[in-house]
A = this chain, B = another copy of it.
Amino acid sequence: MTGWLVVAGLGPGSDALVTPEVTQALAEATDIVGYIPYVARIAPRDGLTLYPSDNRVEMDRAAHALEMAAAGHRVVVVSSGDPGVFAMAAAIFEALEDRPDWQSLDIRILPGITAMLAAAARAGAPLGHDFCAINLSDNLKPFEVVEKRVALAAQADFAMAFYNPRSASRPHQFARVLEILRSHSAPDQLITFARAVSTPEEAIRTVTLTEATPEMADMRTVVIVGNSMTRRVGRFVYTPRSVPKPAPRPQP
């Protein structure tokens, strides 16, 4: 039996956002590995073993999945959103670094609808111009790196999407990020809090930077900060595609 490993993005929550490519891989799999709430989205069936595991054990999970694939299983590691965006794909490659014998395995990454793009679609088109994506968690990087990136992104006038903006264990850092944004951007700059997009608990709210409070975000929220041109039209928020040319300097 020839094993393989697929790292699949399940999208933000709704099955209507799961690609046919991912559905096909799930149908062929013998084993599903992933964080508990993502594995819970997979329907049990004969011949399929589910391995739900806790958060923050990404490296154990990656090694377990690779081990099974090496033993001939057809393994799908499930990620929410897109597996390449703050998710399991990078963890799989980290695990591969120590095991050259696993590097020739049949490994495929299947993209998914990442949270920021599902959220942007619900709000309108706030990422319709140049933008960046920043994971605000300092589990895997010093918070100074987050602060520096947010400040430079504001100087670049990027729209921004923040993943993992706030958790119970680090309630104050998102407040600091809002401070940095306020020091660079206009008070009426728009910021969208998109919670649990495409699930029954979905809630989308757009406010100005002045009105934003840290409590508007939690771990199920993706935050989208507009750039200096982002504006409302009807019930939507969008960022125009164009940046006007600078006005000619007045001649002396």
Which residues of A come within 8 Å of B, CB atoms?
11, 14-21, 24, 58, 82-87, 89-94, 96-97, 100, 103-104, 107, 109-114, 117-118, 120-122, 124-135, 140-142, 145, 148-149, 152-153, 155-158, 233-236, 238-243, 245-246
CB nearest neighbor in B for A154:
B152
Q: Closest 4 A-B residue pairs measured CB to CB? A: A90-B128, A103-B234, A132-B132, A141-B243
Contact of A240 among B16, B20, B94 (CB under 8 A): B94
**Copies assembled:** 2
Can you spell out 5 A-B residue pairs with CB atoms less than 8 angstroms apart?
A82-B121, A84-B125, A112-B113, A140-B241, A152-B153
CB-based contact A121/B83 at 8 Å: yes
Q: Report how far A188 CA is from B141 CA in the complex, Å.
A: 23
In the docked arrangement, what's the CA distance between A86 and B117, Å?
12
A16 cross-chain contacts in B, Cβ below 8 A: 19-21, 24
Q: Is the beta-carbon distance between A135 and B130 smaller than 8 angstroms?
A: yes
A57 → B minimal CB distance (Å)? 14
Residues on B with C-beta less than 8 A from A117 are 82, 84-85, 111-112, 114
Closest CB in chain B relative to A205 CB, distance in Å: 17
Contacts of A236 in B (CB 8 A): 93, 96, 107
A19 contacts B132, CB within 8 Å? no
Residues in B neighbouring A242, C-beta threshold 8 A: 140-141
Contact across chains for A93 and B233 when beta carbons are under 8 A apart? yes
**Cα distance A84–B121 when bound, in Å?**
7
Q: How far is the CB of A25 from chain B (nearest CB, A)?
A: 10
Q: How far is the CA of A239 from the CA of B87 in the complex (A)?
A: 12
- Sample of 14 further A-B pairs with CB below 8 A, known A93-B238, A132-B133, A132-B153: A16-B20, A89-B121, A89-B125, A89-B128, A90-B125, A93-B125, A96-B236, A97-B233, A109-B122, A111-B121, A132-B158, A140-B242, A141-B242, A142-B246
The answer for the CA separation of A16 and B48 in the assembled complex, in Å, is 23
A28 → chain B closest CB, angstroms: 13
> Quick one: closest B residue to A146, CB to CB?
B130
Query: Which of B19, B109, B141, B241 is A125 in contact with, Cβ under 8 Å?
Result: B109
A109 to B134, CA, bound (A): 23
Given contacts A14-B21, A103-B233, A238-B90, contact A152 B141 (CB under 8 A): no
User: Assuming A18-B20, A142-B246, is B91 touching A241 (CB within 8 A)?
Assistant: yes
